[in-house]
Amino acid sequence: MKKNVIVTGARRGLGLAICQRLAAEGYKVLAVARSDSPELNALCDGERVCFEAFDLANTDKMHTWVGELTKRHGRIYGLVNNAAIGVDGVLTTMHELDIAQSLLVNLQSPIVLTKYVSRSMLLGGEGRIINISSIIASTGFSGLSVYAATKAGLIGFTKSLSRELGKAGITVNCVAPGYMESDMTKGIAPDKLLSIKRRSPSGKLASVESVAVSVAFLLGEGGNMINGTTVTVDAGSTA
Ligand SMILES: NC(=O)c1ccc[n+]([C@@H]2O[C@H](COP(=O)([O-])OP(=O)(O)OC[C@H]3O[C@@H](n4cnc5c(N)ncnc54)[C@H](OP(=O)(O)O)[C@@H]3O)[C@@H](O)[C@H]2O)c1
């Protein structure tokens, strides 16, 4: 029987690439997004990939929603907390509502979702949780302080949770991508992009596909003994 993996933020970008990769590797992907896209729609066949509409900002509805998901699809093996919003701007002028929304969607929401999904994993005696962080969690970038706080928060969450769940056969890890071309980064200034590219030893940047492969590795047999750590996929930019 196929193993169920929840992927959040599946509509586009990295989330969509993860869904494509996991479906090709034989998982049953529960692709979560507020609404679907033509690309996600093309992937959803009800067998390998199922679209599950949910606004992850609704943490108060998560308990019931996860219960319904497991009733319909069965036990959950993997959870990829990928959805995030990239609010940028200097802190002094950032609106408090944007700060609150970033903390909610990027940090509180994956924590609450993990709380409920891990119960299903505990019953099965195995599971894989992968939180998508960022290299910005450990390197500075002007204009991304709030985003960085959420991504660093995920790393702290991952480390301690791996200690809680490890004895039950569940691993918890982060994947920290470097800059990838996606909707989140399309507004970046050309000169900034050039300097990011120059920092990479190969002159190349990680693609969403290359990060998706690392996520698949952690979900598979290769990830058996990897727990509580962060896998950086940035083409060497932070070396
Ligand atoms: N791009 C980069 O360079 C980069 C670098 C390091 C780390 N990352 C991380 O990689 C992950 C994916 O980034 P990306 O570049 O693929 O971003 P993206 O293109 O902006 O996609 C983000 C996804 O999250 C979903 N999402 C946002 N808010 C949501 C909500 N309230 N409920 C449900 N879904 C929601 C979006 O769906 P909607 O269409 O519904 O908004 C979208 O599918 C993020 O965690 C990001 O922080 C990205």
Per-residue confidence (pLDDT) for residue 188, from 0 to 100:
87
**In-domain check, residue 238:** no
d(CA 207, CA 227): 24
In a domain, 239, yes or no: no
pLDDT for the residue 189: 86
Q: Provide the token pair at 161.
A: 């949770």
3-state secondary structure 204-230: CCCCHHHHHHHHHHHHCHHHCCCCCCE
Where does ligand 1 bind, in terms of residues with CB under 6 Å?
A: 9, 11-15, 33-35, 55-57, 82-85, 105, 132, 134, 177, 179-180, 182-185
Regarding pTM above 0.95, the answer is yes
**Ligand 1 centre distance from Cα of residue 83 (Å):** 4
d(CA 30, CA 54): 11
- Average pLDDT over the chain reads 96
The predicted model gives 139-159 an average pLDDT of: 96
pLDDT tens track for 33-74: 999 999 999 999 999 999 999 999 999 999 999 999 999 999
Q: What is the mean pLDDT of residues 209-228?
A: 98
Angle at 67 between CA 122 and CA 128, to 5 degrees: 35
What CATH number is given to the structural domain containing 113? 3.40.50.720
Is 52 a domain residue?
A: yes
Q: Which tokens belong to 204? A: 């190349």
CA–CA distance, 157 with 152 (Å, rounded to integer): 9
Report the nearest-CA residue for atom 44 of ligand 1: 84
Range of the domain at 113: 4-233
Token couple for 135: 């290299």
Q: Is 147 a catalytic residue?
A: yes
**Is the pLDDT reported for residue 125 higher than 90?**
yes
Reported as a single tens digit per residue, the pLDDT across 152-186 is: 999 999 999 999 999 999 999 999 999 999 999 99
Total structural domains within the chain: 1
pLDDT computed for residue 232 by the predictor? 98
Q: How far is the CA of 210 from the centre of ligand 1 (A)?
A: 16
CA 213 to CA 207: how far, in whole Å? 10
pLDDT band at 193 (very low <50, low <70, confident <90, very high): confident
